Amino acid sequence: MAALTTSQGCGIISDAPNRAVSTRVVSPSESPTDNPSNNKPPTHTFPREIPPIAKVPSSPETEQAPSTEVIPAPSQPTMMETGLASWYGPKFHGKRTASGEVFNQEKFTAAHRTLPWGSRVKVTNLANGKSVDVRINDRGPFGKGRIIDVSRAAARALGMVGRGITTVRVECLSDADISNELVLQDK
């Protein structure tokens, strides 16, 4: 006979192919032979109190950061994807976007499936190197294999109006990039 140990308990597996396998969960406080008619599952399988983790000793070569130091998370996740972009304009101009904003084909906006409303992304046309910064205000694209739909104004800046679709790289902009962009627009 071979013993079987699993995370749910212990059981016995017979080497004989025609014999049934029997498994019974055993609580930590009883042995498998204490009460064979007691088939209740344990009330808990882990200690109620977890002992503290031992402190890792520091060596002269290691510097320990002060325990009060807080390292902020990035304001936006760094994200980059490459794929097909398309553009949309006249048919949707003046209609509400998924965010509730009225679509204006002459603004630098875009539709993305997952990025939060208001996210700023840099879209680069990989065929000609032109790029534009857009704000996500809609959901889409709904065309198969596409990763972003840009407004007509953004498509014009990317040099893709005639073709309709092109391969692009989409990069999230950090708060610092957005602040610099706003300063440049004010001048």
d(CA 99, CA 105): 15
Q: How many CB atoms lie within 10 A of CB 140?
A: 17
pLDDT at 49: 56
Q: Is 86 helix (H, G, I), strand (E, B) or coil?
A: strand
Q: What is the pLDDT of residue 13?
A: 35
What CATH fold (topology level) applies to the domain 80-186? Barwin-like endoglucanases (2.40.40)
- Residue 143: its pLDDT value, please? 83
pLDDT for the residue numbered 52:
60
Spatial distance between the Cα atoms of 44 and 28, rounded to a whole number of angstroms: 9
> Environment class of residue 169 by beta-carbon count within 10 Å: exposed (0-12), middle (13-18) or buried (19+)?
middle
Q: Which of 5, 170, 187, 3 is nearest to 85 (CA)?
A: 170
Tens digit of each residue's pLDDT, the chain (187 residues): 444 433 333 333 334 444 444 444 444 555 545 555 555 544 444 445 555 655 655 555 655 555 555 555 555 446 899 999 999 989 999 999 999 999 999 999 999 999 999 999 999 999 999 999 999 999 999 888 999 999 999 999 999 999 999 999 999 997 545 544 444 444 4
- Give domain limits for the chain: 80-186
Q: What pLDDT sits at residue 4?
A: 40
Global model pTM greater than 0.75: no
What pLDDT, on a 0 to 100 scale, did the predictor assign at position 182? 46
